[in-house]
Structure 1
């Protein structure tokens, strides 16, 4: 007698005993044999068929009454079994993809990491939080030999793995630039050609690129369609939009970019961000840029890193801890 015949005999005995006695101990036996069915990968329709045979053995005289309804149940279980198998296959595939994305996200985080450089007289704070596992935002710092610092912040118009791959390409393109410093407009023009030649035509990248010279206090910058940042002038005691214009990367390989300049004095502050900040929502409506300024004002007495942390937590709570887009905020202020 093979194991299936043994299970069928056991099931029939348990069913007969329960029908006769209504004894719950028979139900415990059913639980035990159910586990055996699972281990042996017995399909639902096989169990129903086993139940039909057991019932017919117990009530042979009721065959005509039992069989039609049981055959109906059997057909339903066959369809259920096929659907359940398909569901399990899809679930396993989904888990496999999720695992691969987790690995890719860890690799991206490692490849895209950038250290905040120590620049005399400059206090820098950064926070970058992906809405999903893969980050479509990018920020990068490079400290030059002369003590100046280059700052890049970018955003892919798109989400998920394609956006993350595009950002990785941008990172490596920037790493390939010569050590000698180029103007911010030249950097964007070079990146624009890389994106136009290598990225899907339906995907675009915005970027703000700046270079700060500690000796002069000058900030040179260019923008490729990126979300305008803010400049806080301590002398004027007000926030001003950093209104730099330029076409997003990847549209036209012959695009040129302009370069602008700001002079930073003591306690002046520059705020750079992605649209994941400006597109936060309150009561189903996008916040205004003035709302961001008001939140920053509350924490201006803190260090730059504490400011970006507090601003992020504010808007995270505002959206019930459910980010709809990648959130990146960079703040640096002149402290001497």
Structure 2
């Protein structure tokens, strides 16, 4: 059982303490005291009657507690179970009645259940206990979300005040005992048992029985709370699975066939639903209708890779909205810089209200000229490995995060690609990944690994797999990723049909 922060309360703490005389069963001592003057035969008969009475009382208590245990095991409705508590507590102690006072989520105290042997007494007892609960002012310390030890102490003090008020309003005719209902080290309420019998006394056995019923009540409340949490978790898991399924369907199922280009891509989410985004977007309706047609392979394609700040369902929903808007803008024949400008205007209100921002790199590639035009909204700049020189260049352009500033301007750059050149687009899940010592994989490691892969592999899939293997080896094969990780590899496989630009990036 959990430790109790406050001592049990009985009416003797508020007035003159009654002498506790006798055993657990009322009348046991008085019956035993009368045996001294009886004859031997009468004494034996009285002793047998006493034993039989004790046995009947014990059987009654066992039956009641057994019924309570059965109700706890088959609990389907917490309120129905709580209705039994005052009745069981009063029956096992031969008291007049019982009451259950619970702390509500807003800090108020409320008389939850009441049981009395007579209806006439019930109204006066209810009025007295409701008046007592109203004397305790609600405070954050009484709220159920209070979990620290100082809040528990304040709750205990408030409950002790409730004991005093309950004794005062019930009056001297009532013998009352109260004990705490503790759930996860927080006092969630009080169980009171009271009697109007003049010779009624609170023995240790009776007090322990009330505590036992209170502990069963606490178990029922905690089980009910855990059941609700489990159901909420199962519902959330179902929603996450549905979100992951939808997101997986929105990401490209396969790389498009583009003339003279070898593509590979992979997105690994840290959660079931992630905030990373990449896409290959056709620029004409002809490509949408027949993406594998020879004429479609020679048309320009847009490449996009982005990252919504955060993970989980909110980031996934924002990514889905971004995808729809971006695809619509591409079909309207806007350049990469204009795409970013329009997205920033359209999404600013939604992003600002959600306290989220988006990084996005957007590029357009023309297979006939092998020119890559691009703009960047503060995303990790893609890396270009030039086959002719063996050098790695960063493809960057000025621009702020989407949704941060309406007046920001997005720069657009272009570069002429050559056969053998390789471009990787990636998210910060690569560069921010850390090993057990907290060291980051960072851009330098990625550049070194990328350069080695381009010199030793000719296939985009091999390059992609090598880079993911290097990241996994650095972080540790047995460790889960802390962030979404996305990588797209683009390799030029043949000369351009038309040549427009020099081999150096335009600034």
TM-score by length of 2: 0.53
> Is 1:150 matched with 2:302?
yes
Q: How far apart in 2 are the matches of 1:199 and 1:248?
A: 11
Q: 1:193–1:253: 8 Å Cα contact kept in structure 2?
A: yes
Q: 2:431–2:441: 8 Å Cα contact kept in structure 1?
A: yes
- TM superposition shift of 1:239: 1.2
> Is 1:285 matched with 2:439?
yes
Deviations 1:277-334 (A, max 9, x none): 1101122122221111233344331521232233223323433431111101111111
The aligned residue for residue 257 of structure 2 is: 118
> Residue 161 and residue 72 in structure 1: after superposition, are their counterparts in 2 closer, same or farther (change >3 A)?
same
The aligned residue for residue 340 of structure 2 is: 188
The aligned residue for residue 26 of structure 1 is: none
Alignment root-mean-square deviation, CA = 3.2
Equivalences for 1:152-301 in 2 at 5 Å? 152-177=304-329, 179=331, 181-201=333-353, 202-282=355-435, 283-300=437-454, 301=457
Deviations 1:232-255 (A, max 9, x none): 111111212223221111122232
Q: Which moved more, 1:64-73 or 1:221-230?
A: 64-73
Q: 1:271–1:331: 8 Å Cα contact kept in structure 2?
A: yes
> Residue 69 and residue 251 in structure 1: after superposition, are their counterparts in 2 closer, same or farther (change >3 A)?
same
Q: How far apart in 1 are the matches of 2:330 and 2:417?
A: 27
Which of 1 and 2 has greater Rg? 2
Q: 2:459 aligns with which of 300, 303, 306?
A: 303
Q: 1:115–1:141: 8 Å Cα contact kept in structure 2?
A: no
- TM superposition shift of 1:73: 3.0
- TM superposition shift of 1:227: 0.8
- TM superposition shift of 1:256: 2.2
Q: 1:316–1:322: 8 Å Cα contact kept in structure 2?
A: no
The aligned residue for residue 92 of structure 1 is: 231
Deviations 1:23-53 (A, max 9, x none): xxxxxxx9xxx89973465989989x79x97
Q: How far apart in 2 are the matches of 1:42 and 1:218?
A: 68
SS at match of 2:379: coil
- TM superposition shift of 1:92: 1.2
TM-score by length of 1: 0.78
SS at match of 2:221: helix
SS at match of 2:331: coil
- TM superposition shift of 1:132: 0.5
Tell me which of the two structures has the higher relative contact order, counting C-alpha pairs closer than 8 angstroms and 6 or more residues apart: 1
Q: How far apart in 2 are the matches of 1:42 and 1:169?
A: 42
- TM superposition shift of 1:272: 0.9
Gaps of 5+ in 2: 1-57, 93-201, 284-295, 495-507
Q: How far apart in 2 are the matches of 1:196 and 1:250?
A: 4
Q: How far apart in 2 are the matches of 1:194 and 1:153?
A: 18
Q: How far apart in 2 are the matches of 1:65 and 1:160?
A: 55
The aligned residue for residue 335 of structure 1 is: 493
Q: 2:266 aligns with which of 127, 130, 136?
A: 127
Q: 1:208–1:221: 8 Å Cα contact kept in structure 2?
A: yes
Q: Which moved more, 1:176-185 or 1:90-99?
A: 176-185
Gaps of 5+ in 1: 1-7, 14-29, 54-62
> Is 1:76 matched with 2:202?
no
Q: How far apart in 1 are the matches of 2:213 and 2:234?
A: 31
Q: How far apart in 1 are the matches of 2:485 and 2:335?
A: 27
- TM superposition shift of 1:68: 4.0
Q: Which moved more, 1:181-190 or 1:144-153?
A: 144-153
